[in-house]
């Protein structure tokens, strides 16, 4: 029987940690579980030790941010405050801390949040895209800016938003996948939006 992850009703968030390369699920309780891949095969699920995260009812979004030898789990609350916890490959979650600086993702129009490198990217329900760079060393969220260029993720059938490399990918309710290349240096979503699975 194939191994499974993320199927329980109490599974609240799912993110990918690059270091230690683990598909990670965060439960309503704040407990964190993960499964590694070996040769494209999902390995047995294990529980992380350490701090709990993402268990408050005000926790709205969860992303992971890469940082050299470890990643950070980052949770964004309804009021736009941002909290994080460093994940060690032990696997262990260090104590949760609050980022200083700008607030993100607190507007009711904010539909998706993803991490593009060390930039938190907010996609609104009208397809406009905003970003805020994260200083992990200083634990600070830099001022929010708006991306120019194409809009994405504004159709009512758009269900999920993920990042692949420098692309934003939106998955619709009927399973189609559309993408847009991003230029984080010039803060631009490059048109046109293209269909990936055509």
Rounded-to-integer distance, Cα 84 and Cα 104, Å: 14
Residues 167/100, Cβ–Cβ less than 8 Å: no
Residues 91/73, Cβ–Cβ less than 8 Å: no
Rounded-to-integer distance, Cα 33 and Cα 48, Å: 6
pLDDT tens profile 85-105: 999 877 899 999 999 999 999
pLDDT tens profile 2-59: 688 899 899 999 999 887 678 999 999 999 999 998 887 888 999 999 999 999 999 9
Rounded-to-integer distance, Cα 159 and Cα 11, Å: 18
pLDDT tens profile 167-187: 999 999 999 999 999 998 999
User: 163 vs 91, 100, 121, 134, CA distance in Å?
Assistant: 24, 25, 10, 17
């Amino acid at each position: 029987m194939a191994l499974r992850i993320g199927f329980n009703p109490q599974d609240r968030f799912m993110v990918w940690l690059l270091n230690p390369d683990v598909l990670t699920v965060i439960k309503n309780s704040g407990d964190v579980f993960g499964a590694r891949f070996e040769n494209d095969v999902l390995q047995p699920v294990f529980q992380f030790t350490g701090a709990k995260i993402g268990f408050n009812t005000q926790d709205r979004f969860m992303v992971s941010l890469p940082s050299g030898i470890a990643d950070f789990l980052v949770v964004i609350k309804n009021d736009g405050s941002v909290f994080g916890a460093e994940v060690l490959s032990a696997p262990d979650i260090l104590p949760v801390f609050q980022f200083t600086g700008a607030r993100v993702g607190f507007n009711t129009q904010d539909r998706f949040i993803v991490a593009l490198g060390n930039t938190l990217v907010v996609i609104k329900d009208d397809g406009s895209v905003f970003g805020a760079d994260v200083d992990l060393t200083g634990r600070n969220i830099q001022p929010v800016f708006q991306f120019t260029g194409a809009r994405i993720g504004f159709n009512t059938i758009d269900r999920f938003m993920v990042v692949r490399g420098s692309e934003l990918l939106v998955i619709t309710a009927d399973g189609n996948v559309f993408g847009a290349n991003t230029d984080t240096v010039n803060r631009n979503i490059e048109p046109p939006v293209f269909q990936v699975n055509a």
